[in-house]
Amino acid sequence: MNTAPESLQSVFDRTFAGISQVRETFTPQLRPHEVGTIANISTGIARVSGLPGVGFEELLEFPGGVFGIAFNVDEEEIGVVLLGDYWHLHAGDEVERTGRVMDVAVGDGLLGRVIDPLGRPLDDKGPMAASTRLPIERPAPPIMDRAPVTEPLQTGLKVIDALIPIGRGQRELILGDRQTGKTAIALDTILNQRGQNVVCVYCAIGQRASAVAKAVAILREKGAMDYTVVVVTEGNEPPGLAYIAPYAATSIAEHFMEAGRDVLIVYDDLTQHARAYRELSLLLRRPPGREAFPGDIFYIHSRLLERATHLRKELGGGSLTALPIIETEAQNISAYIPTNLISITDGQIYLSPSLFELGVLPAVDVGKSVSRVGGKAQRAAYRVVAGDLKLGYAQFEELETFARFGARLDQDTRKIIEHGRRIRACLKQPEFAPVSVPAQIAVLLALTAELFDPVPLDRMTDAEHAVHEAAASIPAEVCARFETADKLSDEDRKAVIEIARKALVPFQPKPEAKPEAKDGAKTEPESKAGAKPAAKAEPKPEAKPKPDDGSKPRAPTDAKPNSKPNPQPETEPKPEAALKEKP
C-alpha cells in the first residue's frame, strides 16, 4: 500500500523539476508591435497615421476583423484600401500591422466552391479545406520558363475553333457592347472543358448578384462546378474587393498550373476592375490621366495577364489560358481600356450588336476578330478548312452589301452569296450547347465541299443536326487522327465528306422539281411570244395615222374594234391638223 503513493510522489517530483528547469532556461523576448490610428475614413479607403515601418501593399488589420492594403505610403500618413464593410470604423480606432501581404487559400479543396477574394465561402458549404496560401501579387514566369503555345483549347463554338483558334496558354480578349453574349461565350468554353482535364476559374468582378447566381446555376446544372472555382465580388461591395479579385483568382489558378495542369481563367469583366481602380486612385488623390484613369492603369492589367502562360515540361508543362472580357460603349473599340487590353492580349473576339440583332448567335464579327497564335494552336483538320472558310465568308460579307441595293448579280456572284449564307447559318449555334470536335469537322468539311448549298435556308438547322448525328458514325481511328495527326489525309477527308453527303440526302431538292421547272421554262417563252404581238400592237395604233388608216388593218383585227370608240375621235383629228399645218 505504501509503494503506490511513493511512485506517484516521484512522478510529481520529476514533473515539477522539469517545469522549473524549463522556466529557468526561458528568456522572454520583446517583439516590437506597431499600432496606428485611423485619421479619417472615406468611401472604401482610410487614412492611417502612426505606422512608420509599414511596407507597400502590406496587410493591415482594423477593428472588427476588417483588413486593408497599404496603398499610399507617405511620410506622415498611409492611404489604405479597405477590403470589407467599414461602416463601424471611426477616426481614432486602432490599426495593427500584420507583417505579411495579402494572400489567398489555394488547393483542390476550392473546386466546386463559390468564394470571395479573401477566400471566405459564399455557398453555405462550410469552411474552406485548404492548407496552402499564396500571395495574390506574384511575379510572372520568366521568359526562359515558358514554352510555345501549340495545344488548342477547344471552346465548342464552331466559329471560334475554326476561324479564331485559342491555344492553351494564350490570352484572348472578348469585347463588345453590353448584352451581346460575352459571358455566354466564356461559359460555353467552361462547359466544353468537361472531360478535358482542364481546371476552370470564373472571376466575376463587380457583377450583379442575379447575373452571378444565374451563371453559377448554369455551371451546376451542366455539371461544370466539379472542375470550376468561382470567385465573386458583387457590385455593391467595396471597390477594394473588386480591385484584388482578379489577382486572387489568378493565384488560385497558378497553383494548379504549377502542379502541371491546364487551367482556364475568365475575368468578367475588366471594365469594372479598371473603374474600381480609378475610384480608389481618385479617392487617394493620385493624379488622373486620360478619361480620369491613373497613369498606371495599363500596368495593373499587363502584370495580371502576363501571368498567363505555358510552362516548359521541366517545370510541369502546365498552362494558364486567360479570357478577359471588356465592355465597349457604342461599338467604340478604340477607347482607352479596350485598346490597352488589345495591345496586351494575343488576339480578340469582337461581338457585333448588329449581328446580335439579326439573330446571328454567337454574334462574332470575323472581320474584326483575330487570334495572333492562329493555326499553330489548331488541329490539322481545322487548318484544312479554315482558310477556304474564312475567305468564302469574307467574300460573302463584302458582296452582301452590294446585293442589298438590288444590283443585278451574275451567276458566280449569286453562288458566292448563297454559299456565304450557308456558312453563316452553320456558324450559328445555340447557347450552352458546345459541339464536339468530330461533329465540327464534319460540318466544316461539308461546308467547304459545298454540300449545304442545295439545302434551303429554312432547313439548314435540321440539316446541320443530321450531320452532327452522322458524325457519331465516324470510325474511332479517324477521330483519333483528328487529335494527333499533323495533317488530315485525303482518305479521312473523303470518308467524312461521304458520311456528311449521306446525311444530307433527305434535304436535297427533289428530282420531281426538275420537270416542273422545265414546264415553267416552256411556258415562259410562250407567254413571251404572246406578249410580243401585244407589245407590237401598242405602238401600231399610234403609228397608224401617219400613213393611211387602212394600210395595216388586218394584223390587229381583235384590237381594232376595242380601240375605235375611244382612241379614234381623239387621235384622228390630231394628224389631220398636223398635215394641214405642214404645207
Q: Of 14-18, 75-79, 340-344, which one has max mean pLDDT?
A: 340-344
- Burial (CB < 10 A; 0-12, 13-18, 19+), residue 488, is buried
The whole-number average pLDDT for the span 31-60 is 92
In 3-state terms, what secondary structure has residue 181? coil
Share of the chain above pLDDT 70, in %: 86
Share of the chain above pLDDT 90, in %: 70
In 3-state terms, what secondary structure has residue 133? strand
pLDDT of 268 higher than 50: yes
> Over the chain, what is the mean pLDDT?
86
Question: Which residue type is seen at 542?
Answer: E
pLDDT of 8 higher than 60: yes
- Give the Å distances, CA to CA, from 88 to 41, 69, 117, 241, 242: 10, 18, 21, 18, 21
Show the domains of the chain with their CATH numbers: 35-101 (2.40.30.20), 102-376 (3.40.50.300), 379-511 (1.20.150.20)
The whole-number average pLDDT for the span 127-153 is 93
> Could you report the per-residue pLDDT of 330-349, keeping only the tens digit for each?
999 999 999 999 999 999 99
The whole-number average pLDDT for the span 311-328 is 97
pLDDT of residue 9: 82
B/e letters for 47-80, b = 16+ CB within 10 Å, e = fewer, are bbebbeebeeebbbebeeebbbbbbbeeeebbbb
Cell output for 263: 487551367
Catalytic amino acids?
372
- Burial (CB < 10 A; 0-12, 13-18, 19+), residue 331, is middle
Of residues 542 and 340, more confidently modeled = 340
Peptide bond between residue 269 and the one before it cis (omega within 30 degrees of 0): yes
Question: 374: pLDDT confidence band, cut at 50, 70 and 90?
Answer: confident
Question: 456: pLDDT confidence band, cut at 50, 70 and 90?
Answer: very high
pLDDT of 556 higher than 60: no
Of residues 3 and 152, more confidently modeled = 152
Cell output for 322: 486567360
**458 forms bridges with which residues in the sheet?**
none
pTM score, whole prediction: 0.82
Question: Which residue type is seen at 233?
Answer: T
End-to-end CA distance of the chain: 170
- Burial (CB < 10 A; 0-12, 13-18, 19+), residue 250, is buried
Question: Which residue type is seen at 67?
Answer: F
Query: Which residues, in sequence order, are CB contacts of 177 under 8 Å at separation 6+?
Result: 327, 328, 329, 330, 331, 351, 353
pLDDT of residue 524: 44
Question: 487: pLDDT confidence band, cut at 50, 70 and 90?
Answer: confident
